[in-house]
Structure 1
Amino acid sequence: MNVFSTLLRQRLRRDRWQLLMWILGTALLAYVTYVGVSESYGTQQDREALLATAIANPVIMLFRGLPSGADEGAFMLFLIFPFLAMLAAFMSSFLAVRHTRMDEEQGRAELVTATPAGRVQPLLATVVHGLLANLALAVLTALALISTGLGVSGSLVAGFGAAAVGLSFLGVGLLSGQLMRTSRGANSLAVWVLLLSFLIAGLGNALGTPSPDLQRIESSWLTWLSPFGWGENSRPFADDNVWPLVLCAAFGLALAGVSVALQSSRDLGASLVPERRGRADAPAGLTGPTALVWRMTRGSILGWAVGGLLTGLLATSLAGVLADVATKLPSVEAILASISADASIAQGAVVIFFEVLGILAACAAVQTVCRARQDEVHGTAEAVLATPTGRVSWLAGYVLVGFAAIAVVAAAGVTGAALGIAGRGGDWSLMGDAAVVAAGQVVAASVFLVVTALVFVLAPRLTIPLGWTLVFLAMVLGLFGPLFGFPDWLVHIAPIAIAPTVTGDGVALQGLWWLLFAIAAIAGAAAALMRRRELAPAG
């Protein structure tokens, strides 16, 4: 027991700052969403009208929760529960992989298994660590909702509902760590399962049976194939069902049990899914560090590009729907106006969705630069730098590929916008608006690219947590700030909110020159400081 408690304390200490950001961020999102919803949809009539519109448009249902009535608490959870659950799921799956496959990959697991801890106790400590993290998330999220004046019962179901989905994906992350040979492969598998589950739950809700007054939906059978669907069917502040949350927890613990069995039977460092055999000879194009980075990251860039394509498709497909909603609900029209200046409603829809595109592009860029830190920790960077490749050229390869990733995601978004217009016979003038906003978001995403590169140079160990935290903060401020009623100066801290955009009669440059100046200055500082930086392995 002493060995187990030591392992658990080590995990809690190692993850304390990362978990603090995940947990507090989830609780804060719940709190500010309630504040924003109570201000923007303060009347029962407004909430009923928005629910009716959403239920009548299945595409909206793909990305929202399960409608359970127009009361304040239930309405708020319809808007935000899937995102609370998604934060818990990301936290849990990353935690699971970090303490299983990544430890094996970096040689730490071999040292631990040589002690009396053996092979199973570290995995059990990781399971308990994940349980405690989700318990803390559930309690703080529930307290955040209770502090707004919402009911205790519904708040507890909401908090523990998000955490229950997190437990499901703790199991997914643990199993991914047993299946895949690398931590990157395990994280990728867990993320794809997460996104697929999210879409299955949304599709199941969209195909569900609405009530006659269009205020509630009974999910279709498809929703019950997804942990997100189980969590949503707890219906906080409406039915307060607990048994779907038990199903989530049982699913996660069952996967954890399977992972323990696999851990006991396989060789350390091995995986159930074997690595693909590499080529005997490198292709002709693989002639430098930049080409090598592209080769290693092209799969993840393709995944972000698919997300960009879908975002662009939704932007023009839903433009007409949002225009109808705005004409019925002045609160929605005010939110669109605050985001898109003097643009029309259809242009405002494009602006909103293309800000999401900017976040996706920023994620692709940050992930690419974070790969530099992973290569440094794993020792592969040392082999590259032993060649005539200099430190600045080596880092420049990641930055260049990161910018290419931004451009690819933006281009995919514009392509998706064209497909959306063609599919619905819409207004082709929106294509010009989409191109302008996409170009502006390329500039905004490039800020995250160079900032992450500078963090990598100055504080290597913070590269991954700080890079992703900055993107998360920009998403909250830029996308949700107008909904939450944040002051303009706070919203405009997010680069995506001050990128060039469209207005009713032209283009608004907004903070373009400031963004370009920041990109040039930060990139220059990163290059200058990289010249004298030594390798910084993990430790």
Structure 2
Amino acid sequence: MTAPSRAVALAGQRLRRDGVQLTLWIVGAAVLAAATYAGVQSAFGSDDARRSLLAAALANPVILLFRGLPSGAGEGAFVAFLIVPFLCLLAALMSAFLAVRHTRAEEESGRADLVGATSAGRMLPVAVTLLHGAAANTAFAIVVALALIAVGLPASGAVVTGAASGGVGLVFLGFAAVAAQVFRTSRAANTAGVSAILLAYLVAGVGNALGTPSDDLQRMESAWPAWLSPFGWAENTRPFSDDTLTPLLPALGSALLLGLGALASSRRRDVGASFLGERTGPAEAHPALRSPTSLLWRLSGGAVLAWSAGAVLAGLLSTTLGSVIEEIGAENPALEAMLARMSAAEGSLEQGILTTFFVMIGIFAACAGVQGIVRVRQEELHGTAEPVLAAAVGRERWLGAAVVVSGIAIALVLTAGVAGASLGIAVSSGEPDLYRSAAVAAGGQLVAAAVFAALTALVFVLAPRATLPLGWGLVATAAVVGLFGPVLGLPDDLSGLSPVAAAPVPVGDGTDIRGLWWMIGTAAAATVAALTLMRRRELAPGG
């Protein structure tokens, strides 16, 4: 078999394996882009409403930490301000997971040895993975552009939007491919990739927040930190305004260098080896590792701390921005109405802001909870579950330990969010009633996050192979509905299907319980079913 034939065969294998996942990433991004345009027309249909919101963002630059780069009040430019960073985020995550899945994860599972036993060589699998990822990002860019053109936006801006998101995806495709050469496990490589993505997102936000606004408060010129981040490069293409592709040149250059680095690194190490070896553990285990619960906590504790750190920051912003945005909302009825939908009609705008941020914190908590369940699936896949179950540990007790760890993780993340909110109230001399509001919002999100963890546990028992895609897919879908539902103008009945959006919220001096009872019932029923059915389920290391 010739080298081109081997490459085609490997590419076909990757395409068959990734077809469903890539379709969900790409089509989901396109639907989000098109729906954002429809939402802007509904919620910010007038030029005055869009100008007012942009002026609010530029007058209070900390808002830009979580949005794009303002480039004008036109419909297209306003859509780009809302959606470009999130499209880039989706492309980056898609690319990073793809790169690790076909490199380091293949080596962990032993499948890379089978490929290496042929005449493929060491570099070909990495090279094909990079080409496969480049094709996926090209498809991502094209489909997003077509979606924006289909809703009536100018083709030039749509093409720039697609190119910007695809360019960011290429950068992190190369970064994750290098991380897969450096780290010993796919978990470490994925963690490095996601951490780099979130850091780059934050650096771009800081650069935008520190930028120079125009006199009419409709446009922001990024400060230098934004130019250190692929997200900053993408946002400075300014779709539907300047429509320039020049800022993407650093992205293409970085992607090329990282790809070449991954290829060169693959030649200098053995299959299964890494440039950073695993740490040598102690000769004897700590007494705290005598139970499956403590062992799982030891394996998951670092990730929980990371989610908790994000929750503290979001909680702090939830109460320090409230008074500022309340003043803005009085001048922008569209913004006030959107925020009111996320709390309740009787609630104050400050409560609406707090509720909005606690939706984000609830998503962090759900991620921490799902990650705890996904961890046992990874232990099963890697064969490390067998030594635990060979001891006096039943299968239901093993899964029960994961459920307990997930519950602790959820509670810790939300407690961190309340702590951040309380600090913000104390620093900004906010209303004392906001302490109660933060506690109520956190309690509601705790129930919502428990639903995700319980459903993921049930999927783990019934369909082990679907644990990762379904567990994270449920969280991702709920996050889009919860965070973008009001912007997209989604019906309340549809938004209510997302646990993070249906969670109880503070309303004045009371509480709107919303979907509390059905969420408690769902979480309890799924947990009991998972633990009961686990007694009859055999280990499925490769299935």
Q: CA deviation at 1:478?
A: 2.0
Q: Report the residue type matching 1:414 in the other structure.
A: V
Q: Does 2:537 align with 1:515? A: no
User: In the TM superposition, what whole-angstrom CA distance separates every residue of 1:466-516 from its partner, at most 9, and x where no partner exists?
Assistant: 111111111122221122111111110001122111112311112211111
Counterpart position of 1:99: 102
Q: Report the residue type matching 1:232 in the other structure.
A: E
Distance 1:153 1:305 in 2: 41
- 2:235 maps to which of 223, 226, 232: 232
Q: Does 2:148 align with 1:156? A: no
Counterpart position of 2:425: 421
Q: Does 2:494 align with 1:490? A: yes
Counterpart position of 2:459: 455
Q: Does 2:129 align with 1:126? A: yes
SS in 2 for 1:427: coil
Distance 2:477 2:194 in 1: 20
Distance 1:276 1:424 in 2: 44
Distance 1:178 1:290 in 2: 32
Distance 1:500 1:49 in 2: 30
Q: CA deviation at 1:374?
A: 0.8
User: In the TM superposition, what whole-angstrom CA distance separates every residue of 1:200-256 from its partner, at most 9, and x where no partner exists?
Assistant: 101011111111111111111111100000111111001111122232122112101
Counterpart position of 2:250: 247
Distance 1:273 1:422 in 2: 44
Counterpart position of 1:320: 323
Distance 2:64 2:516 in 1: 35
Distance 2:66 2:501 in 1: 22
Counterpart position of 1:59: 62
Distance 1:497 1:78 in 2: 23
Q: Report the residue type matching 1:379 in the other structure.
A: G
User: In the TM superposition, what whole-angstrom CA distance separates every residue of 1:46-84 from its partner, at most 9, and x where no partner exists?
Assistant: 111111110111210111111111111111111111111
User: In the TM superposition, what whole-angstrom CA distance separates every residue of 1:329-383 from its partner, at most 9, and x where no partner exists?
Assistant: 1011111111111210111111111011111100111111111111111001112
Counterpart position of 1:406: 410
- 1:392 maps to which of 381, 385, 396: 396
Counterpart position of 1:199: 202
Q: CA deviation at 1:429?
A: 1.8
Distance 2:96 2:521 in 1: 37
Distance 1:369 1:244 in 2: 41
Q: Does 2:477 align with 1:468? A: no
Counterpart position of 1:444: 448
SS in 1 for 2:70: coil
SS in 2 for 1:285: helix
Counterpart position of 2:288: 285
Distance 1:464 1:249 in 2: 31
- 1:166 maps to which of 166, 169, 173: 169
Q: Report the residue type matching 2:435 in the other structure.
A: M
Counterpart position of 1:356: 360
- 1:477 maps to which of 478, 481, 487: 481
Distance 2:197 2:86 in 1: 12
Counterpart position of 1:377: 381
Q: Does 2:90 align with 1:81? A: no
Equivalent pairs, count = 539
User: In the TM superposition, what whole-angstrom CA distance separates every residue of 1:11-39 from its partner, at most 9, and x where no partner exists?
Assistant: 11111111111111111110111110111
Counterpart position of 2:32: 29
Q: CA deviation at 1:174?
A: 0.5
Gaps of 5+ in 1: none
SS in 2 for 1:212: coil
CA RMSD of aligned residues (A): 1.0
Counterpart position of 2:540: 536
Counterpart position of 2:213: 210
Structure 1: 4+ residue segments shifted above 3 A: none
Q: CA deviation at 1:98?
A: 0.7
Q: Does 2:213 align with 1:190? A: no
Q: CA deviation at 1:118?
A: 1.0
SS in 2 for 1:389: coil
Q: CA deviation at 1:423?
A: 2.1
Q: CA deviation at 1:318?
A: 0.9
Q: Report the residue type matching 1:243 in the other structure.
A: T
Distance 1:53 1:501 in 2: 25
Distance 1:423 1:363 in 2: 29
Counterpart position of 1:263: 266
**TM-score (ref. length: structure 2):** 0.98
Gaps of 5+ in 2: none
Distance 2:491 2:152 in 1: 23
Q: CA deviation at 1:106?
A: 1.3
SS in 1 for 2:470: helix
